[in-house]
Homo-oligomer: A and B are copies of this chain.
Amino acid sequence: MVKKLVPPQATIRRLSIYLRYLNGLDVDGVKVISSHDLARRLALNPAQVRKDLAYFGEFGKRGVGYSVKKLRDHIVKILGLQKMRKIAIIGAGGRLGTALALYTGFERRNFKVCALFDKDPAIVGNEVEGIGNILSIGDLSKVVKEKGIEILILTIPAAAIKEIYDPVMLSGVKAVLNFAPFKMLSTEEVDVHNVDLTTELESLSYRLSLNESGISPLDKAPATEED
C-alpha cells in the first residue's frame, strides 16, 4: 500500500460500468461478488477488475470477494456521485437536446438538468415541462452562477460553434460534455469531453469494410457470454 498511482481514464469508465452492474445485483439481492464473476459478466479480465478497484483502496475480502453494497458505495464516493451535479443543456431546441432534456435516467444517477438554453430567439421563453423556460445564451454566465451549474451539455449544430464557444468557456462551468460535431479542447478551467456520434458510426464502418475485404477486425477470441 505504498504507491497508488493515478488511475487510467479507462479505469474510471469501467468503475461506472461496475457501478451499474452492482446496482442491478443489489436489486436482485446478491450480497457478494468476486472479481472473477464481475469480469466474466463484463467481458474483462479478473485481474483488471481487482487492479481497477485497488487504485482506490482495499475493498475486497480474501477468500470471499467484494460486498456488493459496500463496493457500490465506495464507487459512488470515488466518482463523486454522492453529491448531486447540476447540468444545463445548450441547444435545447434541437432534437438531441430535447431528447436529453427529457431523459429521466440522469436523475436516477444524481445528475439534474436545471436549465435549458438555445440561441434561437423563436423558442427562447418556451416552457419545458419539469425544467423551466428555455433561456437565452446571453444569460448563461448569470444562470450558471446563480444555480451552481457544474456541467454543460452541448447539442448544437456545427455552425453554431463560433458564437457559442466563448460564452461556454467563460460561463464559469467546470465541465462540458460536447455532442456537437467538432472537437472542443479542454482548458485549465474547463474539462471538455467530446462524444461524437458520427465518429462512432464511422469506426463501425471501418470494421465493416475490413470484413468485406476478408480481414477480421477481431484478431482476439470473441467475447462469449453465458448466464
- What residues of chain A have their CB less than 8 Å away from a CB belonging to chain B? 1, 3-6, 9, 12-13, 15-17, 19-21, 42-43, 56-58, 78-81, 83, 85, 87, 95-96, 98-100, 102-103, 105-106, 109, 111, 150-151, 174-175, 177, 181-183, 185-188, 191, 193, 195-212, 217-227
- Supposing A109-B202, A207-B175 touch, asked if A16 and B196 sit within 8 A by C-beta, the answer is yes
Contact B203–A80 (Cβ < 8 Å): no
A210 proximity list for chain B (CB < 8 A): 80
Contact B222–A204 (Cβ < 8 Å): no
A181 proximity list for chain B (CB < 8 A): 20, 105
A225: which of B57, B98, B188, B199 is its contact (CB, 8 Å)?
A: B57
Contact A175–B208 (Cβ < 8 Å): yes
Cα-based distance from A42 to B183 in the complex (angstroms): 7
A111 (CB) vs chain B CBs: closest residue: B201
A187 proximity list for chain B (CB < 8 A): 222-224
Cα-based distance from A205 to B150 in the complex (angstroms): 9
A193: which of B21, B174, B204, B212 is its contact (CB, 8 Å)?
A: B204
Contact B198–A13 (Cβ < 8 Å): no
A81 (CB) vs chain B CBs: closest residue: B205
Contact B174–A12 (Cβ < 8 Å): no
The 3 residue pairs across chains A and B that have the minimum distance between CB atoms: A80-B209, A99-B99, A95-B99
Cα-based distance from A1 to B96 in the complex (angstroms): 44
Cα-based distance from A214 to B79 in the complex (angstroms): 15
A17 (CB) vs chain B CBs: closest residue: B183
A9 (CB) vs chain B CBs: closest residue: B203
A202: which of B16, B98, B217 is its contact (CB, 8 Å)?
A: B16
Contact A185–B81 (Cβ < 8 Å): no
In the assembled complex, how far is the CB of residue A108 from the closest CB belonging to chain B, in whole angstroms? Answer: 9
A13: which of B102, B182, B199 is its contact (CB, 8 Å)?
A: B199
Contact B200–A177 (Cβ < 8 Å): yes
Contact A206–B78 (Cβ < 8 Å): yes
A102: which of B21, B95, B102, B199 is its contact (CB, 8 Å)?
A: B95
Contact B222–A5 (Cβ < 8 Å): yes
